Amino acid sequence: MIVLGCNGFTRVSGIFAEHFGAVGSERHYLLGHDAGASLLVDGELVAAVEEERLNREKKTSDFPFNSVKWCLEYAGLRFSDIDLIAIPWNFSAEVLDRMLLGITSTPMASSAKLDLIGDIGKLFTEVVSHDAILADFAARTGFTPDPDRVVFVPHHLAHAMTGYYVAGMKDTAFLVSDGRAEVFSSLMGEIRDGRIRVFDESTIAAESSIGLLFGAITRYLGFVPNNDEYKIMGLSGFAEPPVPNPFLEHIVELQEDGRYTFCRPLETDNPRSFDPLFEQHFGPVQDTIEYKARVAAAAQEMLTVVTSHQLRALEAKTDLNHLLFEGGVALNCLNNTPLFEGSRFDDMDVSFGASDTGITIGAAVHAWVNHPDSTGNEKSAPPVSPYLGPEYDDSVIEQALRESGGRVEWTRLSDDEVIAQVAELLTEKVVIGWYEGRIEHGPRALGHRSILANPKFPDIKDIINTRVKHREPFRPFAPIVLESDAPKIFEMGRKTRSPYMTFVFPVRPEFHDVIPGATHVDGTSRVQTITAQDTPRLAALLHRFTALTDVPCLINTSFNVAGEPIVCSPADALNCFLGTEIDYLMLGNYLVTKAEASS
């Protein structure tokens, strides 16, 4: 069976710009963002890529034409070969009725209600209804799907199935939390034998979304909501949360069954509706690290209290011992460690597709698992790799090098020479672009499109932030470490691995002076563990580097600059290399330098 997962809408950014006041890049961040496609063949995930990697528009919400086309070409398939198309949204007529009922019961002026109902109606009929999605697919691809072969999967169930598949399809409890789906922002339940059971009494409505509240705080502090929340994580390390915490004292109210509400509902048509409350309890907003860090620390503590409250309810409702945490809120890795350590679960997984980048995978898995199997065989998942996107051979790399206009020089190395020379270069205070194989899936740097550096230099973080990434100086960088070495360097508690940068651990005191460039101001690191089985070349490099330096980690951050998607093609990598102060580029087996540097 062949299942194509597909997320993205041609008209959605225009609708949000015209009818909901979204400006600039924010028009992509409300619905359909992280557009992309995935391909499941007989239960094996053979291809997946985000549209932004191909159209070079960060977090694009556009219909994923390039992604769909690449997935099919990679697998040698045509549209007529597809058995099912899975959409990770289900805006049914019943969902529309609930949305309209919510508007009519909201305390706002009648004229405002009518305007909002009209705007929602336009969004529904032109973008997200089943008919609109089918028409969009046909218009953009030239292929008209059979409606009976299109499966509309509720958004949060797609999230849950992504984690379930990546974790090996074992029975598990789950918590999903993000900005909002069709009408909810968070739900919890169990998956047993591929069947999802939702604990309906614990679902959280969109007007009480902790993800949207965290986004409102992000906006309040001068950043872009649904995009820059990780900056709040970074800032929170510079301060202790105030006592008492205004968010927990005055804004968030915990309820029974793991539910929570706010002192008043979020206003979907007024993204700054909570700003007066924030100013009331924190004072007028100030453009200082001290002020922003104090608010960020309070927000981070609030998130941990709220999600821990949800988890306690989940523990009481299930006898399963494994936990999945999915949805955009699960990318808050600073929250994940105390959340797991404070639970009774034996282990907790957060997938590389926890945000909306992964919902095409989960939707495809949901459609496959729930489709009758004529063979009667039990459905199981093969091991899943995050390296699911395009790769480029030497001919493409050489063409990109030749087309660089004489601005670079290069040498082709053998596999052994790549490891030896890059390890030797990294003993110095340099920054290296690392490019190999198929591009990784999801928002974290996973080792195929990475920027690497030596963490022994205390100022290397400042060099990368200012000269390479072009971003705020308070932002920390994550270390990669061999999985076998990680517990020696980091206080990992009950975790033994963290392959997707989704957990934060304290650095052991004896290593603070060994890896200062990868240690945040609060003494922690967002750790990525690797193995020779998963990333053989990168693991070999780390082995060689450690033998040369006695430094057991490397700084690893995504190969891009602020506001740009992670590089995909060799040409993308060269453009980023030439537009920054990256010192060397390892482009496959080609060691590249800037012509002026080598001369």
Question: Could you tell me the pTM of the whole model?
Answer: 0.95
* CATH level 3 topology of 2-167+355-369: Nucleotidyltransferase; domain 5 (3.30.420)
Two tokens at 190? Answer: 């169990």
The residues spanned by each domain of the chain are 2-167+355-369, 204-349, 394-598
User: What is the C-alpha separation between 340 and 505, in angstroms, rounded?
Assistant: 12
What's the pLDDT at 325? 98
22: confidence class by pLDDT, cuts 50, 70, 90 = low
What is the mean predicted confidence (pLDDT) over 366-379?
77
What's the pLDDT at 498? 96
Two tokens at 539? Answer: 């693991």
Which amino acid is it at 449? R
Two tokens at 463? Answer: 């060099």
Class of the 204-349 domain? alpha beta
Q: Which CATH number fits domain 394-598: 3.20.20.70, 3.90.870.20, 3.40.50.2300, 3.40.640.10?
A: 3.90.870.20
User: What is the C-alpha separation between 580 and 470, in angstroms, rounded?
Assistant: 9
Give me the residue label for tokens 């690893």.
Answer: 556
User: What is the C-alpha separation between 523 and 132, in angstroms, rounded?
Assistant: 50
- Calculate ∠ Cα 224-441-142, nearest 5°: 90
Peptide bond into 242 cis (omega under 30): no
Which stretch of 50-54, 372-376, 480-484, 513-517 has the lowest confidence by average pLDDT?
372-376
Reported as a single tens digit per residue, the pLDDT across 243-272 is 999 999 999 999 999 999 999 988 766 778
Q: What percent of the chain has pLDDT over 70?
A: 96
**Best CA proximity match to 437, nearest among 531, 577, 537, 545:** 537
Reported as a single tens digit per residue, the pLDDT across 111-140 is 888 888 888 888 899 999 999 999 999 999
**Best CA proximity match to 378, nearest among 4, 39, 43, 3:** 43
- Within 79-236, strands assigned E span 84-87, 150-152, 172-177, 184-192, 195-198, 204-205
Reported as a single tens digit per residue, the pLDDT across 158-178 is 999 999 999 999 999 999 999
**Does 346 have pLDDT greater than 80?**
yes
Which amino acid is it at 544? R
- Which residues are within 8 A (CB) of 479 and not within 5 positions of it... i.e. 6 or more apart? 455, 515, 518, 525, 527, 528, 553, 554, 555, 556
Q: For residues 180, 182, 184 and 190, what is the CA-based torsion angle, rounded to 10 degrees?
A: -110
Q: For strand 260-262 and strand 322-326, is the pairing parallel, antiparallel, or unpaired?
A: unpaired
- Contact present, 454 and 427 (Cβ < 8 Å): yes
Burial 389-411 (b: 16+ CB within 10 A, else e): bbebeeeebbebbeebeeebbbe
- Contact present, 315 and 407 (Cβ < 8 Å): no
- Contact present, 388 and 564 (Cβ < 8 Å): no
What's the pLDDT at 599? 45
Which amino acid is it at 186? S
- Which residues are within 8 A (CB) of 378 and not within 5 positions of it... i.e. 6 or more apart? none
Reported as a single tens digit per residue, the pLDDT across 410-428 is 999 999 999 999 999 999 9
For 275-341, give the secondary structure using H, E and C. Answer: HHHHHHHHCCCCCCHHHHHHHHHHHHHHHHHHHHHHHHHHHHHCCCCEEEEECHHHHCHHHHHHHHH
In what helix (H) or strand (E) does residue 478 lie, and over which residues does it extend?
strand 478-482
Residue 309 burial (C-beta neighbours within 10 Å; 0-12, 13-18, 19+): middle
Reported as a single tens digit per residue, the pLDDT across 265-319 is 887 667 788 999 999 999 999 999 999 999 999 999 999 999 999 999 999 999 9
Same fold, 2-167+355-369 and 204-349: yes
Helix axes 275-282, 289-317, angle to 10 degrees: 110
